[in-house]
Structure 1
Amino acid sequence: MNTRNLGLSVLLLSLLSGCMMMGQPRNLAFRHNPVTADPNAAGSARVTTMTDGMVQTTLVLTGLTPNKAYIAHYHAFGPASNTDPCASNGPVSVGFPSFTSDASGNGTTTLMTEAAKIAGDAGAYINVHYADAPAVVPICAPVKTTKG
């Protein structure tokens, strides 16, 4: 191996190592809320902290109503519960881009946001809502387990 190829290999390895040091992604499971909407809805949220202080969250969902528009949000812990963020009725801290499920009821959306917008109680849970009826919340992913 010549010196140039060795140098490129070392550079590539150091770049890959840097990517791995950004932070291990955290996978959060969605759970169905006590509503009749989308009874088979499930999925996960993959949360990755980037080196620049940004956080990328990708929602991968199944069991949604086919070809239906949805919205999703990070919510802060609300006053209704200290132990179950999904039941706490907290305010929206940041929203995901809206998305439409496919013909099989699968949906994906990704949000890139500043870590400060979901730090502490500001990112206590992620709700997925019907876009045409935001009060309908079939699934929720708890990010925190206790307030504070």
Structure 2
Amino acid sequence: MIVHKLVLGLFTATLLGSCSMMMGRSTTYTFKHNPTAADPAAMGRAVASRDGSMVSTTLTLSGLTPSKAYIAHYHAFGPASSTDPCASNGPVTLGFPNFTADASGKVSVTVTGDMAKIAGDMGAYINVHYASDPSVVPICAPVKMTKS
């Protein structure tokens, strides 16, 4: 009986340890260049890490216009597409802080928000826009590829 409780205790500790590692797991998304002449060398990645009901996402970008101001957002799927989230023209669900590329066109920016704002069809993609003209979207990172 004591051995049985000891084995059960070790199993439970291992199981709980595995759950806590899964909560801190991160996912990386690669940005793709949109069909625009803006920032032709722009590229980057988004790393999203979940902790309970919160998600922290860090964008690491390069090839941007040096010293130019940008904005970035998570967007929900829009009505324009069911297969390419970046072309779907969906509403903003979570915004990153405004940022400016450094002298070499690089930047790193992080946002933390409630997972509910980017779950399901929410947060299907991340767009990087010019702050001076949000209609200019050099790069996009698809986060979810199809509507639910």
TM-score by length of 1: 0.85
Q: Can you list the C-alpha shifts for 1:92-119, whole angstroms capped at 9, x where unaligned?
A: 1110001000000001110000000111
Bigger Cα Rg: 2
Aligned to 1:26: 27
Aligned to 2:72: 72
Q: Can you list the C-alpha shifts for 1:108-148, whole angstroms capped at 9, x where unaligned?
A: 11000000011111110000000011000000000011011
In the aligned structure 2, how far is the partner of 1:79 from the partner of 1:21?
33
After TM superposition, give the deviation of residue 24 of structure 1 in Å: 1.8
Listed as ranges, the matches of 1:101-140 within 5 Å are 101-140=101-140
Runs of 4+ in 1 over 2 A off after TM superposition: 16-23
TM-score by length of 2: 0.85
- Report sequence identity in percent: 65
After TM superposition, give the deviation of residue 81 of structure 1 in Å: 0.3
Structure 2's unaligned 5+ residue stretches are: 1-16
In the aligned structure 2, how far is the partner of 1:121 from the partner of 1:74?
11
In the aligned structure 2, how far is the partner of 1:31 from the partner of 1:135?
17
Structure 1's unaligned 5+ residue stretches are: 1-15
In the aligned structure 1, how far is the partner of 2:18 from the partner of 2:81?
41
Q: What is the DSSP-based 3-state SS (H/G/I as helix, E as strand, rest coil) of the residue aligned with 2:122?
A: helix
Aligned to 1:145: 145
Query: Aligned pair count?
Result: 132
